[in-house]
Amino acid sequence: MSKIKKVLIANRGEIALRIIRACRELNIKSLAIFSEVDIAGIWVRKADEAYPIVGNPVEAYLNYKKIIDIAKRNKCDAIHPGYGFLSENADFAAACSEAGIIFIGPKAEHIELFGDKMASKVAMKKVGVPVLEGINEPISDIAEGERISKEIGFPVIIKAAFGGGGRGMRIVYKEQDFKELFESATNESMKYFGRDEMFIEKFVQNPRHIEVQIVADKYSNVVHLGERDCSIQRRHQKVIEIAPSPRLNHETREKIYKIAVEGVKKIGYESVGTVEFLVDEDDNIYFIEMNTRVQVEHPVTEVISGIDIIQRMIEIAEGDKLKYTQDEISFKGFAVEFRINAEDPKLNFMPRVGKITNYMAPGGPGVRLDTSLYSGYDIPSNYDSMVGKLIVYSLTWEGTVKKAKRALDEFFIDGIATNIPLHRAIVCDSDFQEGKFNTGYLDEKLEKFNLDAIDFMQEEEQKLQKLQDMLQDIKSNNQFIPKGGEFLY
């Protein structure tokens, strides 16, 4: 029986709904918080209880003192942060512990460690994890950065030392471009993270972005749940995630599992987490970062492993031991996640918000949809553009690609622009179908894709009109078979 009786969900949208479902299966009550613009959110109604936070819509999910106060006043045992917002805020995790509330995630010290890219790189290197050549201390001086880059050798990548998600990141191929790109990266880092410190490392051209999902309890038991290929990216933001990678050979796969598990165990990490690597054309492996939260792409791992990652997070937070050893975990088939964003592919993927006038979701065997959308929902402009995740599964890679194409052809959202046309173009591409992609895939392909959205509702109205005409024809002629001898549109 669960030790936790009620969980406050410090998040919104599809991840809040996902956590509510996990809690319900564990017989745990859920409390949703919501900003003023989120009052119509479906997760607010699906939770057992809901509590508003008045004020700025973004700050509502960042004010951890108020969130903890709400949890205490509503007798919540624990808080689940989801992803984004406060999920990687070490002060929040520590404040929960001080208030006697269970933080469903890792220890504050590990959130702090891996939130600092430089410190985490040094720490992982100490425990034997391979890292890219680069500096060990963050810098903000352009001249020093240029000198270091010359020593490393171009191309180099500049990254915000206290950020993520592709923000504050620039690739410098030539020495003469360094100053402009360094200034651009520091300005963006200051805007999004309030810090302008950067670190510089060797840039690996067109690698595969491979991440390993790990689960670790409080008793030094650590297992992996396989890898995900997150190579298909736009502007360093993940677009599609795949489990397992269709191109990773067995030897490299086993090596990367061992590196991830042993590194995490030596660090003493608890909860779920994701160790992210770059794998170059020669299968050399380089650690880049660790995410101390549930990942957006966790569903593909759940599908191929049969393990509910959110529920495991809750059980570990309660102090339970892992219920299985590595030998008892098996993987079957391939799963692909398509991030559905409210953005216009024809206008350089500019975010688009507004009311959903018509909504038709895909379904059938091997199709999962994690979203909080519904017809009539008004998407607010205050948050990230991702509005859902389409996950498809089949026993073979070929079967998964076919299922993805079918599911995407069924998926229509009217009233706003989405990136569904991009996903349709990708699954029809021969290189994707053959599993041939790396982090440079979209840079190479994007201009060649046809990203015109289908006017689905016009097509549907035309079909309906034809059916109505056919029915009228049958009635007026008092016959079963309409003129022409067919029922086709």
Going from N- to C-terminal start, the domains of the chain cover 6-104, 133-202, 208-448, 464-489
Report the pLDDT value the prediction gives residue 453, as an integer from 0 to 100.
Answer: 75
Q: What's domain 133-202's superfamily in CATH?
A: ATP-grasp fold, A domain (3.30.1490.20)
Give whole-number Cα distances, 407 to 11, 336, 363, 389, 404, in Å. Answer: 28, 12, 7, 12, 5
Instruction: Write the DSSP assignment of 65-133 as a string of letters.
Output: HHHHHHHHHTT-SEEE--SSTTTT-HHHHHHHHHTT-EESSS-HHHHHHHHSHHHHHHHHHHTT--B-S
CA separation for the pair 185, 159 (Å, rounded): 7
Q: Is 293 a catalytic residue?
A: yes
- 6-104: CATH architecture: 3-Layer(aba) Sandwich (3.40)
d(Cα 36, Cα 18) in Å, to the nearest integer?
21
Task: Give the global pTM.
Answer: 0.89
pLDDT of 469: 84
Of 12, 293, 339, 352, which residue is the catalytic one? Answer: 293
The mean pLDDT values, 10 residues at a time, for the chain of 489 residues are 90 98 98 97 98 94 97 98 96 98 98 92 95 88 94 93 83 95 94 90 93 98 98 94 96 98 98 97 95 98 98 98 97 98 92 94 97 96 96 98 97 94 97 96 93 74 83 76 53
pLDDT score for 471 = 84
| Confidence (pLDDT) at 483 | 55
Report residue 316 as tokens: 């570990």
For residue 450, the model assigns a pLDDT of 87
CATH architecture of 208-448: 2-Layer Sandwich (3.30)
What per-residue confidence (pLDDT) applies to 479? 63
Q: Cα separation of 405 and 403, whole Å?
A: 5
Distance CA 70, CA 64 (A): 10
Q: Cβ(451)–Cβ(425) under 8 Å?
A: yes
pLDDT of amino acid 465: 86
pLDDT at 489: 46
Task: Tell me how far CA of residue 69 lies from CA of 87, 95, 102, 120, in angstroms.
Answer: 17, 11, 14, 32
* Secondary structure (3-state) at 246: coil
